[in-house]
Amino acid sequence: MKRFSGFVFAILLASILWRAIPAVEVATAQTAQTPAATVVLPPPDQTQQDAIVKQLPPGPGKDILVNTCSGCHLLSVVTVQRKTEDQWTDSVIEMRGRGAQASDDDLVTLVAYLAKNFGPESAPARVNINNASAIEIAGALGISQEQANAIVDYRAKHGKFKDAEAVKQVPAVDAAKIDAAKAQLDF
């Protein structure tokens, strides 16, 4: 059985590395073509981060998620998404390319945790439409980034939404998608 576990681990690691090599080549090519720009993001709000950490499902990978991802962005950016294992693998590889620090073993564990708890079959994420970022809204509602940006812009100009009907009034937003995601909206 131990030999089989090593084999499964080798396959998972090969899957991650197989995707990483082209990503590294593309990143290297892009870096060579474009001047380096320094983007300094503010640290995530610790109070919000702590509340999100308390809601994370237990299991192997939770601590890796918190330690690896919470320094750069709110964990809700991750937890509102529903991705397949392959999609999570791609995201983890991309984040590693952006500077996330974790061992290969930790990344395999992280992908398994994300796929199990935030996969397409897991419960849909809830989002407070009056407080969430555009990225969080897009991930939770399954709408385009442009539509999510329109919601945030409209909210900034017109104030908080009272219900789903008010969200459907935002120009450029697909009302059918809002209807389909009503159960996921908090106000």
Q: What pLDDT does residue 36 have?
A: 45
pTM of the model: 0.59
141 lies in the same domain as 70: no
Structural domain harbouring 147: 127-186
C-alpha to C-alpha distance for 181 and 24, rounded to whole angstroms: 36
Q: What pLDDT does residue 18 have?
A: 57
105 lies in the same domain as 75: yes
70 lies in the same domain as 135: no
Q: What pLDDT does residue 34 have?
A: 43
The amino acid at residue 5 is S
Q: What pLDDT does residue 113 have?
A: 96
113 lies in the same domain as 172: no
Q: What pLDDT does residue 142 have?
A: 81
Q: From first to last of its 187 residues, what are the pLDDT tens digits of the chain?
A: 455 555 555 566 566 655 555 544 444 444 444 444 544 556 677 888 888 898 899 999 999 999 999 888 889 888 888 899 999 999 999 999 999 999 999 999 999 999 999 998 888 778 999 999 888 898 788 888 899 999 999 999 999 999 999 999 999 999 999 999 898 899 9
Q: What pLDDT does residue 29 have?
A: 45
DSSP letter string over 31-85?
HHHS------PPPPPHHHHHHHHHHSPPSTTHHHHHHHHTTTS-THHHHT----H
Q: What pLDDT does residue 20 have?
A: 52
> Domain end: 88, 117, 146, which one?
117
11 lies in the same domain as 103: yes
Q: What pLDDT does residue 67 have?
A: 94
3-state secondary structure at position 72: coil
The verdict on residue 122 lying in a domain is no
Q: What pLDDT does residue 42 have?
A: 63
